[in-house]
Amino acid sequence: MSEAAGKVSVACKVNGKPVVLCAYPMARLLDVLREELRLTGTKEGCGEGECGACSVLLDGELVNSCLIPVLQAEGTDITTIEGLASGDQLHAVQEAFLACGGAQCGICTPGMVLAAVNLLAQKPSPTDAEIRTGLAGNLCRCTGYMRIFEAVIAACQRTGIRS
């Protein structure tokens, strides 16, 4: 590649597709996703791993992409909010956020939806306390979280796991 000196190639999968990213090794995964791949659904809220707006799934784990140097993404499988729906068919968690009012201004929503997906992958039938702690790394300033809790419960019911 004829990129500026110091950049490296990083091969990984993003939303199911193999990609080769070209970036400085310490570039934040957040910036590379947004700028190289134009996947702007991943948001920056604080840049220090506090708010969770930049959450993505990396090998099935929820991470703050503002804290991940792109080099660390080598060989990984990354899911961003853009990779969640299948075409026009929304993921059950996205449907539930829509139906329950879990999204207001929408800026925390991509990260929050992924956090909820991650929570349900680990605990298909979470208790209220598990929902609260499972989402505690994702800040929302609009909802007071009640509609989000409801959305997580609705998503469980939708998938028939929690009655």
Partner 1 sequence: MPKRYIGQSVPRKEGREKVTGRARYVDDLTFPGMLYGATVRSQVARGQIRGIHFEGSVPWDEFTIVTARDIPGKNCVALILEDQPYLAAEQVNHPEEPIVLLAHADRYLLEEARRAVRVEIEPLPAVFTIEESLAHKEVVWGENNVFKSFLVTRGDVESAWKQADFIVEGEYHTGAQEQLYIEPNGMIAVATPQDGVTVWGSLQCPFYVHKALVALFGLPKEKVRVVQMETGGGFGGKEEYPSMIAGHAALLAWKSGRPVKIVYDRAEDMAATTKRHPSRTRHRTAVSRDGKLLAMGIDFVIDGGAYTTLSPVVLSRGTIHAAGPYFCPNVRIRGRAVATNLPPHGAFRGFGAPQSIFALECHMNEVAKAAGLTPDEFRRRNFIEQGQTSAVGQVIRERVDMRRLLDRALELSDYHAKTKRLAAENAHSRLKKGIGFASFMHGAGFTGSGEEYLASVVSLEATPEGRVRVLAASTEMGQGTNTVFAQIAAETLGLDYEWIEVAQPDTAAVPNSGPTVASRTCMIVGKLVESAALGLKQTLIRSGLLRENYEPAEFRQACRKYIEQFGPLKSTSQYQPPPGVHWDDEKYQGDAYGTYAWAVYVAEVTVDTITCEVRVDDFVAVQEVGKVIHPVLATGQIEGGVAQGIGYALFENVVWQEGRMVNAQMTNYIMPTSADVPPIRVYFEENPYPHGPQGAKGIGELPMDGPAPAIVNAIEQATGVRIPRIPVTPEVLLEALEGELV
Residue (11 or 122) nearer to partner 1, CB: 122
- Which of 12, 14, 29, 81 lies at the binding interface for partner 1 (CB under 8 A)? 81
Q: Is 121 an interacting residue with respect to partner 1 (CB under 8 A)? A: no
User: Any long-range contacts for 139-147 (C-beta under 8 Å, 24+ apart)?
Assistant: 139/45, 139/50, 139/51, 139/52, 139/53, 139/108, 140/104, 140/108, 140/112, 141/105, 141/108, 142/104, 142/105, 142/108, 143/101, 143/102, 143/104, 147/100, 147/101, 147/102
Least gap, CB of 132 to partner 1 (angstroms): 5
Q: Is 116 an interacting residue with respect to partner 1 (CB under 8 A)? A: no
Residues 14-43, interacting with partner 1 (CB under 8 A)? 34, 39-43
Contact footprint for partner 1 (CB under 8 A): 34, 39-48, 50-51, 53, 80-82, 84-85, 90, 94, 97-110, 113, 131-133, 135-149
